[in-house]
Structure 1
Amino acid sequence: MDHLIEKTLSRKTIFEGKIIDLHVDDVELPNGKMSKREIIKHPGAVAIIAITDEGKILMVRQYRKAMERVMVEIPAGKLEKGEEPIVTARRELEEETGYICETLKPLISFYTSPGFADELVHLYVAEKLSKKENAAPLDEDEFVDLLEVSLEEALGLLEEKQIYDAKTAYAVQYLQLQQVLGK
């Protein structure tokens, strides 16, 4: 057993919500002392780097209540119970952008805030896009503007702090690295 593991002694559920649950765990630390850990349980999410045939990146502008501001992000969404991430990625791409893709490749999965949350984001690259007639609608509480931006424009949005979330910043920097490497 790894000497860094914290043993959970008890768990108290504080809140069960539509998207997240909040637990407080009593833990025994590696040195034998006791502590508390506030943990957010999340079903996971996907994010999609969608590239048009013209080399534009599909992004959405939407209001984020937690930040109290409009932000520019790559399309993304929460996993539904029992849904495979690739299925979620195809659904979210269509709902948020009106596009479908021929090619959808997994790039990487990462935890957003492992100090207090278990949210795992699966990042995909979507290519060979086509606009879908009668695309699936957005969720009824979701409002977005679709943007098609060049890499240079995306870097500008990053600099202007219109792109301010980790998944989108990662996506833009990934694309910049691919350009530098000639891929």
Structure 2
Amino acid sequence: MNDDSHLIETPLLRTELLRGNFLHVVRDTVRLPNGAEATREYVLHPGAVMVIGLLDDGRVVLERQFRHPMQSVMIEFPAGKLDEGEDSLMCAQRELLEETGYSAREWACAGRLAPTVAYSDETIDIWFARGLSLGERQLDDGEFLDVFTATPAELRAWCFSGEVIDSKTLIGSMWLQNVQSGEWPLAWKDAATSLLAGQSSS
């Protein structure tokens, strides 16, 4: 195992810079490995989930949504942040239903990604869902997005062309390709069983 002691920064002091409706920004004073001090400004985040929904015909569920910081409509996998104390699977099931109207019979947790390590502690749990059935969307007030489906090949082409630049969706496409090739197997579980297990362990 690597000895990373020569890389580790030690927190000394935290100052709150902003606590908004969504963002919580802090400035940490840290001691560097050489003994000097420096500051690190970053966003604290409760964590999030992303759902790769697989339809029976092989297509995946995607969204088109305007993202204000980018001033552009982005192609993304369904995703959303965890509510306080919320189980990751419960959040994934809620977000998929609210944003797309789909519910799933089976779920598999693939892994976790950290999309912005330089300025946020956000992590996103990657969930796969299959056995989809379509119901009614339950969008939040002020939430506007289009739901559509595409083949994995179409998604890969958009990632290559630059039409998809959202980091979680790029990583999701990589996961999807490796899962479908058999390189990265998943442990699928029935939705109800998985949710009960998660609730009993929380």
Length, aligned pairs only:
181
Distance 1:4 1:159, change over 3 A: closer
Tell me whether 1:6 sits opposite 2:9 in the alignment. yes
The normalised TM-score by structure 1 is: 0.92
Q: Deviations over 1:43-83 (max 9, x none)?
A: 11000000001111000000011111001000000111110
The normalised TM-score by structure 2 is: 0.84
Q: Deviations over 1:116-173 (max 9, x none)?
A: 21001000000000012xx351111211101110111112222332211111111112
Tell me whether 1:161 sits opposite 2:157 in the alignment. no
Q: Report the counterpart of residue 133 of structure 2 in structure 1.
A: 130
Query: Separation in 2 of the partners of 1:161 and 1:76?
Result: 20
Q: Deviations over 1:85-128 (max 9, x none)?
A: 11110000001110000111100012112222100100000000
Secondary structure of 2:69's aligned partner: coil
Query: Separation in 1 of the partners of 2:35 and 2:166?
Result: 37
Letter in 1 for 2:19: E
Matched-pair identity in %: 35
Q: Of 106, 110, 113, which residue of structure 2 is paired with 1:110? A: 113
Tell me whether 1:54 sits opposite 2:57 in the alignment. yes
Ranges in structure 2 where 5+ consecutive residues have no aligned partner: 186-202
Q: Report the counterpart of residue 143 of structure 2 in structure 1.
A: 142
Secondary structure of 1:37's aligned partner: strand
Contact kept, 8 Å, 1:19 with 1:43, in 2: the verdict is: no
Q: Going by fraction, where is helix more abundant, 1 or 2?
A: 2
When the two chains are superposed, the root-mean-square deviation of aligned CA atoms in Å is: 1.7
Q: Of 12, 16, 29, which residue of structure 1 is paired with 2:19? A: 16
Letter in 2 for 1:137: Q
Q: Report the counterpart of residue 38 of structure 1 in structure 2.
A: 41
Contact kept, 8 Å, 1:7 with 1:27, in 2: the verdict is: yes
Ranges in structure 1 where 5+ consecutive residues have no aligned partner: none
Moved over 4 A (4+): none
- CA shift, 1:181, in A, is 4.1
